[in-house]
């Protein structure tokens, strides 16, 4: 009986997360209420609060789930990288999947900006489960960096380039393409992280 109850609970969570994701994509994170999420999914508000204390917590669950899926394919490919250029290409392939998921990139950007106004959320969003942190990036490329240039700095520079591009992409003000950013990021990494 307990197993059936756990399966039902997991199904409820997944349906609420799917409902939230759809509404966040349509209306935005800030404009979507818990009541709208539960109504859209066909549940009472109590079902929501059995799983999360707030809409913020729900969104962090969505982020964690999304990034787990994205990272699963990336990790295997990075382990097989032969050099820094290979590793960088794997990372930028991963980042492209985020950009290609148009709803996700705009929702994630909105929540990132929203979290900047809340100290606890800001700290959470800087953890590696919720974004490509400097530490994760450093671990992905560390074995391929041939110079004393800090891998964390490569991570910070690449994250800044990607997030800057994401803002332009979301606002539709792109002058440069994703491929422009990718190629320049990889060249910068190679210039700093490989022996010339």
72 and 46 in a single domain? The answer is no
Contacts of 105 (CB under 8 A, 6+ apart): 98, 99, 166, 169, 170
For residues 24-33, average pLDDT: 92
User: d(Cα 85, Cα 170) in Å, to the nearest integer?
Assistant: 27
73 and 95 in a single domain? The answer is yes
121 and 163 in a single domain? The answer is yes
17 and 90 in a single domain? The answer is no
User: d(Cα 19, Cα 10) in Å, to the nearest integer?
Assistant: 14
Q: Which of 35-39, 141-145, 170-174 reaches the highest mean pLDDT?
A: 35-39
Residue 121 · residue 56 · CB < 8 Å: yes
Dig out the tokens for 62 from the structure.
């969505």
Q: What is the tally of structural domains in the chain?
A: 2
143 and 186 in a single domain? The answer is yes
86 and 19 in a single domain? The answer is no
User: d(Cα 155, Cα 158) in Å, to the nearest integer?
Assistant: 5
Q: What are 80-106's pLDDT values in tens digits?
A: 889 999 999 999 998 898 888 877 878
Dig out the tokens for 110 from the structure.
């909105």
- Which domain CATH number covers 174? 1.10.357
38 and 98 in a single domain? The answer is no
131 and 80 in a single domain? The answer is yes
Structure-model confidence comparison of residues 167 and 53, the more confident one: 53
User: d(Cα 97, Cα 90) in Å, to the nearest integer?
Assistant: 11
59 and 133 in a single domain? The answer is yes
Domain boundary among 51, 71, 87: 51
Q: What is 51-77 written as a DSSP string? A: H-SSHHHHHHHHHHHHHHHHHHHHHHH
31 and 68 in a single domain? The answer is no
> Which DSSP symbol is given to 144?
G
Neighbours of 171 (CB within 10 A): 10
| Domain limits for position 109 | 54-192
Q: Compute the mean pLDDT over every residue in the chain, rounded to the nearest whole number.
A: 88
For residues 47-73, average pLDDT: 87
17 and 99 in a single domain? The answer is no
């Amino acid at each position: 009986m307990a197993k059936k109850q756990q399966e039902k609970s997991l199904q409820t969570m997944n349906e609420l997360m799917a409902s939230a994701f759809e509404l966040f994509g349509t209306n935005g994170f800030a404009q979507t209420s818990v009541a709208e999420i539960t109504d859209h999914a066909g549940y009472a508000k109590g079902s929501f609060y059995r799983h999360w204390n707030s809409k913020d917590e729900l969104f962090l669950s969505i982020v964690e789930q999304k990034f787990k899926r994205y990272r699963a394919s990336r990790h295997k490919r990075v382990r097989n990288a032969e050099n820094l250029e290979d590793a960088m290409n794997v990372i930028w392939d991963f980042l492209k999947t985020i950009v290609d998921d148009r709803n996700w990139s705009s929702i994630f950007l909105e929540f990132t900006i929203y979290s900047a106004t809340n100290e606890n959320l800001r700290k959470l969003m800087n953890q590696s489960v919720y974004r490509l942190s400097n530490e994760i990036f450093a671990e992905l490329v560390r074995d391929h960096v041939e110079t004393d240039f800090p891998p964390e700095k490569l991570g910070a520079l690449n994250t800044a380039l990607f997030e800057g591009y994401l803002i332009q992409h979301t606002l539709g003000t792109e002058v440069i393409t994703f491929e422009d950013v990718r190629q320049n990021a990889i060249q910068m990494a190679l210039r700093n992280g490989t022996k010339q």
